Amino acid sequence: MIHRRPALHCRSGRGVIGALALLAVLLAVHSAPATEGILLLGDDPIRVGRAGAAVAAVGDASWMMFNPAGLDGLDRRLEWGMTVIHSHATLLTRGIADVPFCGTMVDDEWNGMPSFGLVLPCESGTFGLGLYIPTGAMVHFPQPRSWVGLLEGRNDRRQEFMQPRLTLAYAHRFDSGWILGASVNGSLSVGRTDQITPRLLPSKGDYKWEAAPGAGFGLGVLRRWERWSFGAALESRQWAERFGRYSDISPHPVDMPATFQTGVGFKVTPTVEIEVDYRFINWSDVKFFHEPSAGAGLGWHDQHAVMAGVEWTASPRWTFRAGYSHASRAMGDDHLFGSALVPNVATDHVGAGFTCRVNDRSEVSLALAHFFRGSQTGSNRGDFYARLGTGSESTLQVNWLSLVYSRKF
């Protein structure tokens, strides 16, 4: 059971403001996005270590982006983090669009995502402020996806996208023990691509960067008893302005879909807790992702995921975690070729990690995760683009490391 900490008054000093300014500069300069599909299941060590099964747990400052109710119970702190992701994607094109003699194309990406979080418990509840990059994708194949791109100057092989978010959150514990949390965020989607248009022409975007502001919100609930815990979190659709430069590729804004996650935790012993979560990603509500390629979308459908995690508090200083997650596919075989520059074919992953409490004020959390190699082959069922790339094969494998340093003050 989590005990309520002594009430503290909210205050911020020059060090807090300076740290926030420094992280804003770092995020602006170090803008490499993630490559695991388009949404991360967790970009902090606690969620990564538990393979995402953590909505009923109390974690760290990043819970303002995940389940804001989980901020309750945290001490006043600053957190700095870095997630390093390595992705290995391959594409073998076949069918009418096949580029002769290219064979299997390989894309290896190393990307880093910094993060920053501030937690301020007050008499009335707990506030959180953070800067995170929960969404991104990147691929650079050495050759075009199609002979059309080859004829147009080796286009149709690269895309980059990221979406930093500045989040403000609040959590309040009621006398009944239930905790409610809410968050609002502003985002800036940044992207570029050399993908060809639905008319098989070069895009006027010309692989130049474009930015689009956006906004969203989140809601969460958490209740912990002596042995059981329950959590649920809803993240709204992340509305964004349209990329005007790339409107000839798609007329739709690149909104991020709403997600819902709920889970139950149980303490097997006073030091060992297990949790099972369910997660839903509502791709079908966003035209950019759900519309078929002929409608300038990716042809994805809703995803469902089941996650299981375990956490062992070995001592007051050391906590260890492990987990496994399985998700349904985001797209059918009939949309693989149209979505080849956003590979999203890996569905199973494992995670493991730990937290070390260095002293009363500092702790370090680290986690490693591995997405098993997933593969998918395109069929000729579907629109024109499916028939262009009939038999094309896409694979994806991802490894990542997440590190966070927390400093209480």
- Specify the CATH number for the domain of residue 29: 2.40.160.60
Any domain includes 4: no
pLDDT given for residue 47 in this prediction: 94
Q: Is residue 321 predicted with pLDDT exceeding 60?
A: yes
Distance CA 369, CA 164 (A): 22
Quote the pLDDT of residue 335: 82
CA distance 94 to 215: 40
- 322 domain residue, yes or no: no
The tokens for 174 are: 């009621």
Most distant CA pair in the chain: distance in Å? 69
CB 227 within 8 A of CB 267: yes
Backbone angles phi, psi at 329, to 5 degrees: -70, 145
Given a cut of 60, whether residue 102 has pLDDT beyond it is yes
User: What is the Cα–Cα distance from 212 to 161, expressed in whole angstroms?
Assistant: 11
Q: What pLDDT shows up at residue 38?
A: 53
- Strands of 225-271 (E only): list them: 228-235, 239-240, 259-269
Residue 66 included in any domain: yes
Quickly count: other Cβ atoms within 10 Å of residue 403's Cβ: 18
Q: How confident is the model at residue 386 (pLDDT cuts 50, 70, 90)?
A: confident
The answer to whether position 249 is within a domain reads: no
The pLDDT value recorded for residue 296 is 73
pLDDT of residue 358: 96
**Which of 47-61, 271-285, 324-338, 364-378 bottoms out in mean pLDDT, i.e. has the lowest?**
324-338
Residue 218 domain-assigned (yes or no): yes
3, pLDDT greater than 80: no
Cα(98)–Cα(337) distance, integer angstroms: 11
**Which tens digit of pLDDT belongs to each residue from 155-199?**
999 999 999 999 999 999 999 999 999 999 999 999 999 998 888
Closest-CA residue to 137 (of 211, 193, 213):
193
Q: Which domain holds residue 108?
A: 14-224+331-408
pLDDT of res. 108: 94
> Looking at residue 36, what is its pLDDT?
34
Nearest Cα neighbor of 283 from 335, 241, 321 is 335
How far is Cα 220 from Cα 198, in angstroms, rounded to an integer? 40
Tell me the one-letter amino acid at 10.
C
User: Residue 45's pLDDT is what?
Assistant: 95
In a domain, 373, yes or no: yes
Distance separating alpha carbons of residues 232 and 259, to the nearest angstrom? 11
CB 256 within 8 A of CB 290: no
Residue 154: CB atoms within 10 A of its CB come to: 14
SS3 content of the chain, % helix, strand, coil (to 5): 15, 45, 40
Whether residue 389 is predicted with pLDDT greater than 50 in this model: the reply is yes
Helix (H) or strand (E) holding 351: strand 348-357
Give 40's pLDDT tier (boundaries 50, 70, 90): low
∠ CA 187-190-191, nearest 5°, is: 150
Residue 219 covered by a domain: yes
- Residues 329-349 pLDDT 10s: 988 888 888 888 888 888 999
Inside any domain, residue 64: yes
Higher pLDDT, 329 or 293: 329
Tell whether the model's pLDDT for residue 118 goes beyond 90.
yes
User: What is the domain count for the chain?
Assistant: 1
| Across 279-283, average pLDDT | 95
What residues contact 25, with CB distance under 8 A and at least 6 apart? none
pLDDT of residue 113 exceeding 50: yes
